[in-house]
Amino acid sequence: MDQRYDFKKGKLEGFKHEDPMLFFKEWYQEAHEHDCADPHAVVLSTVSTDGQPSSRMVYMREMLEEGIIIYTNYLSKKGGNILKNPKVAALFYWDCVERQVRIEGVAEKVDKSISDDYFANRPRISQIGAWASEQSSEIDSRETLEERVKHFENKFPNEVPRPPHWGGYLIKPHYFEFWQGRLGRLHDRLCYTKDGNDWRKSRIAP
């Protein structure tokens, strides 16, 4: 069924910042202020060695001048893809303000101390889950997973250490696209492309 919906909540007159990370931070803050659902949720896309793209929802947990940080199991499918091909794409979509931000860049593991600090502040059940779940691998039943949870709950009755196979990736962007929905599908699309140490700005057609 073709249901039409017109976008009319905003417009992009021009480039507000020379640095796209400042632009991104501003939009991210506005998504919070408008009570967008899960503004830190992001679609992360990776590519296998045979060229097959793969996408999944993850959470952005930190924002640095160099890029954004997500956390995951390094032995997962996305971890395996990133190991062989660190080029990734990330997509934020904020329906409440009719905006999306596309990011393309390279993912690299963060320093172990950063992963340690973040892991130490996770809820205990999430810490146990990082040990219990061999992410992306086949399991024979839900019961098998729950048994592994019990095993690690007993193994770590107090403090739960960070698994060596779990940690953060810093996605260092070389391309941003800021998309604002407009009437008649004539959307505004402003792009930043890394050019040496600078950013080249361009507007592209919807």
Residues with catalytic function = 185
Q: Which DSSP letter does residue 96 get?
A: G
> Would you say 200 and 180 are in contact if contact means Cβ atoms under 8 Å apart?
no
Q: Which helix (H) or strand (E) is 116 found in, with range?
A: helix 112-120
Q: Map residue 179 onto helix, strand or coil.
A: strand
Pairing of strands 198-203, 166-180: unpaired
> Would you say 73 and 133 are in contact if contact means Cβ atoms under 8 Å apart?
yes
Q: Residue 73 has which token pair? A: 């199991």
Of 75, 58, 77, 56, the residue nearest 131 (C-alpha): 75
C-alpha–C-alpha distance, residues 188 and 29, integer Å: 20
User: Reduced to 3 DSSP states, what percent helix, strand and coil does the chain have, rounded to the nearest 5?
Assistant: 30, 35, 35
